[in-house]
Every structure is written in C-alpha cells, then in structure tokens.
C-alpha cells in the first residue's frame, strides 16, 4: 500500500517533535476519543465529535506549566491565522483549583476554547503525564501527531502540520 506523500511529509515534520506514541493511551493513527467538558466559565458544553470536519489541536495544560506561558500566545496566533480555514484549538485545563486556571487566562488571554477537566477523567483517558501535551487531529477525527512540551520553533512545525491537514 502506497502512503500519500502529504501524510509522509506530515509524519516527517513531527519526528523529533516530541511524539511519545509508546506511552500514550491515545495513539497516532487512531480516532480521538470523544469527550465532552464544560467551558471554563461553565456556560457551554463542548463535545469533541461536534468538531469533525475541522482540523483540531487538543492542548492539555495547567497554570503551573512554564512552557504553557510561552505556547499560549503562539498557539493563539496560529489559531487566529487558520480558524477561517477550518482550524480549532480546544485547550483542556487540568488544574485542581479552577481559580488558578482563570488567573492564568487573565494573564495570557486567548481566543480559542478553554475547557475545564474538573475531576481529571479526560486527562486519564489520554494518560496525560507532562504539560503541555497536544493532539493534532485531522478532519475525520484521527490523531495525526502528539506533541509533548513546548520549545522555541515548535510552533513552526505545528503550523506546517496544520497547513498540510487543512489542505486534505
């Protein structure tokens, strides 16, 4: 079976991008588990299956996460450039105290959706062990890359992967 060139390029982009497929419960090439959580303000419930047809980056984060301080504004820039093309970011906060997450968002506001995993069920489903960890998902709901941590330059690799998936 011959793999599409774009899929090979996407995979190559994420080699060395922190893909820890071996320890993840959710693996590259598998469907993203469907989950639903309330927004940080508690006014809406977001169901992941409602985002099929879009390219989605699911970003698990916490207020104490130093790399998150750097990733949030960079992810927000990507989101604002790509949202009209069908890109969404869904950030899932894992703080035990919601107030800590709210304080973080007041300092680092973003335009994309932030959800609160109050009891940790969703993070357990994904076996989240480091912060941040992100799952890049194609329009069909299949995980195409897993990214752990956040280093300078990661946003460029991520944006290339998003662009490839948006063209599919």
Question: One digit per residue, pLDDT tens: the chain, 168 residues?
Answer: 344 545 444 544 443 444 444 455 889 999 999 999 999 999 999 999 999 999 999 999 999 999 999 999 999 999 999 999 999 999 999 999 999 999 999 999 999 999 999 899 999 999 898 899 999 999 999 999 999 999 989 999 999 999 999 998
- Given this model, what pLDDT does residue 24 score? 53
Tell me the DSSP string of 63-110: TT-HHHHHHHHHHHHHHHHHGGGTEEEEEEE--SSHHHHHHHHHHS--
What range does the domain containing 16 cover? 5-166
Q: Which two tokens stand for residue 110?
A: 């973003």
Q: Which two tokens stand for residue 158?
A: 């991520």
Nearest to 87 by CA among 162, 2, 27, 3: 162
Structural domain count of the chain: 1
Write phi, then psi, for 122 (nearest 5 degrees). Answer: -70, -45
Query: What CATH number does the domain containing 52 carry?
Result: 3.40.30.10
C-beta separation of 96 from 70 below 8 A: no
Q: How many residues does the chain have?
A: 168
Nearest to 52 by CA among 129, 141, 132: 141
């Amino acid at each position: 079976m011959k793999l599409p060139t774009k899929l090979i390029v996407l995979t190559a982009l994420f080699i060395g991008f922190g893909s820890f497929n071996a320890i993840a419960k959710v693996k590259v090439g598998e469907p993203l588990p469907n989950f639903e959580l309330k927004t940080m303000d508690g006014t809406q419930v977001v169901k992941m299956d409602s985002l099929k047809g879009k390219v989605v980056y699911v970003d698990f984060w916490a207020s104490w996460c130093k790399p998150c301080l750097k990733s949030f504004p960079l992810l927000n820039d990507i989101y604002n450039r790509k949202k009209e093309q069908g890109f969404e970011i869904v950030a899932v906060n894992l703080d035990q105290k919601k107030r800590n997450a709210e304080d973080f968002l007041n300092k680092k506001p973003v335009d994309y959706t932030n959800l609160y995993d109050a009891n940790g069920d969703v993070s357990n489903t994904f076996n989240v062990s480091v912060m941040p960890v992100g799952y890049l998902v194609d329009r069909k709901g299949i995980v195409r890359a897993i990214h752990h941590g956040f280093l300078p330059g990661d946003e460029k690799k991520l944006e290339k992967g998003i662009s490839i998936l948006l063209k599919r």
